[in-house]
Structure 1
Amino acid sequence: MTVQQMLGQPSRPSFNLQRIDFSRLHVDIDAYINPFLPPPPWRYLPRPVSRFLGYREPPNPKPLGNLVVTFWTLIGVFCGVLVVAETSMHVPFFEHHNAPIIVASFGAAAVLEFSAIESPFAQPRNAVISQVIASTVGIGISKLFALNAHAASLPQIGGALACAITTCLMVLTNTVHPPAGATALLSVTQSSDVGWTLILVMFLGSLLMQAVALLINNIQRRFPVYWWTPVSLARAPPSDTESGERINRASFETDNTQDVFPGNPRQVLIESGRILLPNQFSITEAELKVLRSLSDRLP
């Protein structure tokens, strides 16, 4: 018996932190944004245009040998870095604010955009938004540290803090792009004279890099894999969403599924061109679209 009970006082409800499973805490910003986004319109555009926007009708392009990939990587990285640098050098506003010829993190970005083009880190959403976040946080931290003479003499701390905050924001917004960490670090340690202009420098440079990537990568390869999210943004029919009706494993017929999974395992197998589900397993139409999109992306 507690002291409160002995004195006839009501006991306060206890709050036990051990009952909270912190490993399950998760924030998915896409769950709030994606319902308001329309599906990409690329399929309705002329084929030559949609091709250079990354749209492909099934089947997807066959994998290329590494010599071909190396050739296009050479061309792409050279053109991407050159276009960004030349543009920055000929913008009077950038010159007036002492902007660098090119921010070093664009070199790392070029490696992703033309070599690892299927990586989530290389997709347009990650490549552009992350650099805007990084430059904003970096310059903000730089300006904040400049308010104190002692703090201004510790750029290593400001750089580490900017890089850490940028990384956290990228994780929360699903825009992780490793070169942006370098941008945040450089914003504090080497770009104090540029000021807020760096945000425009990074934004314009990121857009130019993406434009070159769309042109070069889609000659023989495919870029991007997705523009915003790998999950389909297509809306389910009202009847499906309102009634919550689920589709039984054997209630649909499609070329990339089969009715019976060998044996009766508790697993889902996704291969190029087919999806294997356990027998008597039911899924919704939205779930089926996600599985199909993953199957179509496999080589």
Structure 2
Amino acid sequence: MWDHSPHTNSWFEYHRWHFDIDRYINPFIPAPPWRWLPRPISHFLGYRPQPPPPMGNVLIALWSLVSIFCGLSIITSVTMNVPAFQHHNSPSVIASFGAAAVLEYCAIESPFSQPRNAIIGQTLASVIGVCIAKLFALNPHAKHLPELGGPLSVAIVTALMALTNTIHPPAGATALLAVTQVPDMGWWLIPVVLLGVALMQVSALLFNNIQRRFPIYWWTAHDLSKRPEEDEESARDKERRPPSTTEESFSDQPEQVIVRKGEVFVPDSLWVSAEEREALERISERIK
């Protein structure tokens, strides 16, 4: 029987067993620079001042049809025309890219489809899968036990993705086929997978940002411009001081463009062109 009293040993409080790798990595990740880039570039990198309007599933289905066909065709054509890949018996396309295409071109708002998950997840899968295949190849008897090697590679990859916040379901298929389908490729599977992932990400940026938005984030959904220690300190300060109706009223207001005499203030979240800023500055000069 489990003891749920407050004096229970913390080691047995398994609900507290949590490792957040982002807590250690995010302080060293710079905030995305998209708002400083020209609008067409930042648009196709997924930056939007405001979230795009919702889209019906008919249009999503049409874009998925076009983008999946074009994206996988590009990946297959490039892979088939790399002599080194063909010399090492590479398949025309990695089978797990079929599942990845559904995420990258259709379910683009899922955390599983974001670049961090896709790139790191597939990299871990190819590396771990090849390592397990090489390890089992050392023993003639173990080499003929795919029922052990394949599941072991998927299990290890899934555990690593869970600990690194990079869950990407198609990566499990990549790890499995590395051991059971293409073990003779060896280390050459890694560049084949990385090239396919890179081409898929580039094509996803192109097709998905025509009418939708991809990615939702590149590294994390959290605001990287605010560090965890700053958030904790501001939370403590907010608890110490009494609530201010003035501060609350300003925080509830939307961001505004302010034009004063000889001064123009545009919030960072709002992108304006050079012509628009010039017009605002002319208005500020006319203010007496």
CA contact (8 A) 2:133 2:179 kept: yes
Give matches, 1:1-299, under 5 Å.
Answer: 20-58=12-50, 60-235=51-226, 245-246=237-238, 248=243, 250=245, 252-253=247-248, 257=252
CA–CA separation in structure 1 for the residues paired with 2:250 and 2:69 = 42
Structure 1: which 5+ runs fail to align? 1-15, 259-272, 274-299
How many Å apart are 1:65 and its aligned residue? 1.1
What SS is found at the alignment partner of 1:233?
Answer: coil
Change (3 A) 1:22 1:73: same
How many Å apart are 1:93 and its aligned residue? 1.8
CA–CA separation in structure 2 for the residues paired with 1:207 and 1:231 = 24
**Partner amino acid, structure 2, of 1:106:** F
- Cα RMSD over matched residues? 2.4
Change (3 A) 1:251 1:124: farther
CA–CA separation in structure 2 for the residues paired with 1:159 and 1:205 = 22
What SS is found at the alignment partner of 1:221?
Answer: coil
CA–CA separation in structure 1 for the residues paired with 2:23 and 2:179 = 33
CA–CA separation in structure 2 for the residues paired with 1:166 and 1:236 = 30
What SS is found at the alignment partner of 1:107?
Answer: helix
Q: Alpha-carbon deviations, 1:126-163, whole Å to 9, x = none?
A: 01110010011111000000111111110121000000
**TM-score scaled to structure 2, two decimals?**
0.79
CA–CA separation in structure 1 for the residues paired with 2:249 and 2:66 = 40
How many Å apart are 1:254 and its aligned residue? 6.6
What SS is found at the alignment partner of 1:196?
Answer: helix
What SS is found at the alignment partner of 2:237?
Answer: coil
Change (3 A) 1:253 1:131: same
Task: Name the structure where helix makes up a greater proportion of residues.
Answer: 2
**Partner amino acid, structure 2, of 1:53:** L
**TM-score scaled to structure 1, two decimals?**
0.76
How many Å apart are 1:256 and its aligned residue? 7.3
CA contact (8 A) 2:126 2:190 kept: yes
CA–CA separation in structure 2 for the residues paired with 1:138 and 1:46 = 41
Q: Alpha-carbon deviations, 1:179-214, whole Å to 9, x = none?
A: 000000000001111111111111111011010000
What SS is found at the alignment partner of 1:246?
Answer: helix
How many Å apart are 1:118 and its aligned residue? 0.1
CA–CA separation in structure 2 for the residues paired with 1:37 and 1:75 = 34
How many Å apart are 1:255 and its aligned residue? 7.5
Larger RCO (alpha carbons 8 Å, 6+ apart):
2
What percent of counterpart residues are identical? 56
CA contact (8 A) 2:27 2:228 kept: no
CA–CA separation in structure 2 for the residues paired with 1:78 and 1:119 = 20
